[in-house]
Amino acid sequence: MAWNNAEKIKKRGIVLRNVPTKGNDAMITAIGEGGVFSFFARGVRKLPSKNGAGCTELCLSNFVLSESLDGLLTLSEAASEALLYSDKSLESSICASLLAEAALKLFSEPGEENNPKMFHFFESCLRGIKDSDKPLAYAFLGMCKMLVYAGIGLDVGECVICGKKTGIIAISYPDGGFVCQDCASDLGASKTPVMQLKMLRFGFKCEEQDLPRADFPAPDCIALLIQLADYLNAQTGINLSGMKLLRTI
């Protein structure tokens, strides 16, 4: 067998984080069909650098990486395919950063089970945030789906206490889903606005092809994103720093 300590690996992914290290180098973390991966990128912060654009945060790129014997990945080439980030509005930049932060914190654990569908859904949400005039709706739907893939999706098909499908009036986060009128009064849970119940049902049930149909009022998107972030924190201890900016919208 030939001695080869620099086998080339091709990966396509979206850059979630670009952390400068010494000199002009950086550590890059990206998400692709196979999940989150990290690599060392030498000289990418030097201007001009042929790989710099492809290592920009929220850039969808095709990477050529070499793996050393100790398993560390190093960048050989980064070809930018599309920048899935726009600063055309404060809303869209906050929404894109928030989803990237959530993906990074939810799916970075080694051995994390990953699903190519998750990556494609995430990519579609970022495109929606960038190109549509409803970035908050796409951020909300992206957050719902990430919770599903992280195994903490809410049950929006029936009352989580008694199983009844009718008379749903509230979401109970501590119980993990919808509750009916009778159970809500037993729990002392207050009513959730009807629009927000509809949004949660759509958010936890929709597929990628349903995304363009989503058109929700911005204040409801913000209210639910705040609730979902609190729910995520209660379930996992993860704190999304991007929520601070979202609250200023």
65 vs 159, beta carbon nearer Zn ion: 159
Q: Among residues 37, 39, 6, 4, which one has the least CA distance to residue 119?
A: 37
Within 8 A by CB and 6+ apart from 230, the residues are: 173
**Residue 243 CB, nearest distance to Zn ion (Å)?**
30
Q: Give the pair of three-digit tokens for residue 16.
A: 């979630």
144 vs 161, beta carbon nearer Zn ion: 161
**Residue 170 CB, nearest distance to Zn ion (Å)?**
10
**Residue 181 CB, nearest distance to Zn ion (Å)?**
8
**Spatial separation of the C-alpha atoms in residues 13 and 59, rounded to whole Å:** 8
Q: Give the pair of three-digit tokens for residue 89.
A: 């509005």
8 vs 191, beta carbon nearer Zn ion: 191
**Residue 206 CB, nearest distance to Zn ion (Å)?**
24
Q: Are strands 7-20 and 26-32 parallel, antiparallel or unpaired?
A: antiparallel
73 vs 183, beta carbon nearer Zn ion: 183
Alpha-carbon distances, residue 242 vs 67, 77, 226, 249 (angstroms): 33, 30, 11, 12
**Other beta carbons less than 10 A from residue 217's beta carbon:** 15
> Which sign does the torsion angle of CA 127, 132, 136, 141 carry?
negative
27 vs 162, beta carbon nearer Zn ion: 162
12 vs 201, beta carbon nearer Zn ion: 201
- From its phi and psi, is residue 71 left (phi > 0), alpha (psi between -120 and 50) or beta? left
By CB under 5 A, name the binding residues for Zn ion.
159, 161-162, 164, 180, 183
**Residue 223 CB, nearest distance to Zn ion (Å)?**
23
**Residue 139 CB, nearest distance to Zn ion (Å)?**
30
Q: Among residues 107, 25, 14, which one has the least CA distance to residue 72?
A: 25
